[in-house]
Amino acid sequence: METMTVKKSIFVLALLGAVTGTATAQSSVTLYGLVDVSYQNIRSGHNSALGGASLNRLADGSTFGPGSRWGIRAAEDLGSGLKSNVVLESGFFTDVGSSAQGGRLFGRQAFISLASTSLGEIRLGRQYIFHDEVTILNNPYGNATILNTGAPITLPNGLITMFIDAPRIDNAVQYLSPVLGGFRVQAMVAAGEGVADRYHGLKASYVRGPLNIALSYEQSKSRAGRPASPGTSAIAAGDGVNKIVEMGGNYDFGAFKVFGGYQQGKDLTTGTLGVPSTGGVGTQITSLTIAGLTGAATELKAYTAGLSVPFGSTVLAANYTRSKFENSAGAGRTLSRIGLGAHYNLSKLTSLYAAIGVHQGDLREFVNEKTVFQLGMRKAF
């Protein structure tokens, strides 16, 4: 009797093992991350908050780029070409060890999705916004280093970016089509839920061989009761604001790679927006009451062109970016930047980098980051 009981136990354990093995083969959980930190030397403009002084600091990669993070990806194969997915991603500052994105637990991404090989994918939750995805294509190191066209630049009264880049949006529903002949279309809405503007976005992309290009259009509908921005007229509920169109792409010739992009923003406004980063596009397009320009910037036109050249494990790169900010009266100010960089890959997951950015244009003496030098290290896992 005892022998039979032992045999039954062994059989049950073997059966459970087989079932567990099958479940494991159909699902996966991946822990991943990136740690990026650099030494930075900042030389400021004479009319900036730093008054022409130099600043030396150790800073996380989020200063001018994607920033350090850790995350979890979970996927389950449901059969018949159907898969469920979860992405939870948390940002942090390596230099001080604190949480990024205002202390959110998963401030970078937090969404669940259902994907079909023939019908596409639906994602629900906090996600990357479309112009951020296009901006990544237009410069040699993606959205990293001072060559990043969306890097924040400090004025005495706030921040600007040469390309608007409010990376993420809450409470979003996104549809991604299947890739057909290299083409994909995406659509996303975010209701705002009474505390932010209602967001709508469309994006089309084409990836085939050495060519990678994308186009996006986004706008928000003003929520009821939102106050007007300083220097602008009142905004009624349902008004279209923060209309952003962007084109970006790159082409790999093998011996070198070229990059380009263009962005135009209209009816730009500060406040609680449907295109938020930490506080909204208002943290990136600020009231330019300097250099004789009075009132908030309501329009932006920006373009960039770049080049990268690989030499073994090293990738050298350069780009030029120019932006013009205009108020409602049509008066404008410019800011341009020449960027140079070098990345050396110690392995597929570890790299050293150096970069320099020099600003010119009407606003050059008003920004803290008139000249930026970086020397840093990135480690992915």
Q: What is the pLDDT of residues 189-235, one digit of tens each?
A: 998 887 778 899 999 999 999 999 999 999 988 876 666 655 555 67
Closest Cα partner for 319 from 329, 327, 308, 328?
308
Helices (H), 240-327: none
Whether 275 has a pLDDT exceeding 60, the answer reads no
Closest Cα partner for 355 from 143, 40, 54?
40
Place 17 in a pLDDT band, splitting at 50, 70 and 90.
very low
Sequence-distant (≥ 6) Cβ neighbours of residue 89 within 8 angstroms: 69, 70, 71, 72, 106, 108, 109, 110
Q: What is the pLDDT of residue 132?
A: 93
Closest Cα partner for 160 from 261, 277, 58, 259?
277
Whether 95 has a pLDDT exceeding 80, the answer reads yes
Mean confidence (pLDDT) of the chain: 86
Sequence letter at residue 114: L
The CATH number assigned to the domain with range 27-380 reads: 2.40.160.10
Whether 120 has a pLDDT exceeding 80, the answer reads yes
Residue 275: how many other CB atoms lie within 10 Å: 30
The stretch 339-352 carries a mean pLDDT of: 97
> How far apart are the two ends of the chain, measured CA to CA in Å?
53
Predicted TM-score (pTM) of the model is: 0.87
The DSSP symbol for 358 reads E
Q: What is the pLDDT of residue 26?
A: 85
Please provide residue 22's backbone torsions phi and psi, each rounded to the nearest 5 degrees: -65, -45
Sequence letter at residue 326: E
The stretch 336-340 carries a mean pLDDT of: 98
Q: What is the pLDDT of residue 343?
A: 97
Whether 64 has a pLDDT exceeding 60, the answer reads yes
Q: What is the pLDDT of residue 330?
A: 81
Question: Percentage of the chain with pLDDT > 70?
Answer: 83
Q: What is the distance between the alpha carbons of residues 365 and 359, in angstroms, rounded to a whole number?
A: 9
Indicate the SS3 state at residue 282: helix
Q: What is the pLDDT of residue 196?
A: 79
Place 82 in a pLDDT band, splitting at 50, 70 and 90.
very high
The domain segmentation of the chain, as residue ranges, is 27-380
Range of lowest pLDDT (254-263, 313-322, 325-334): 325-334
Whether 115 has a pLDDT exceeding 80, the answer reads yes
Q: What is the distance between the alpha carbons of residues 42 and 355, in angstroms, rounded to a whole number?
A: 12
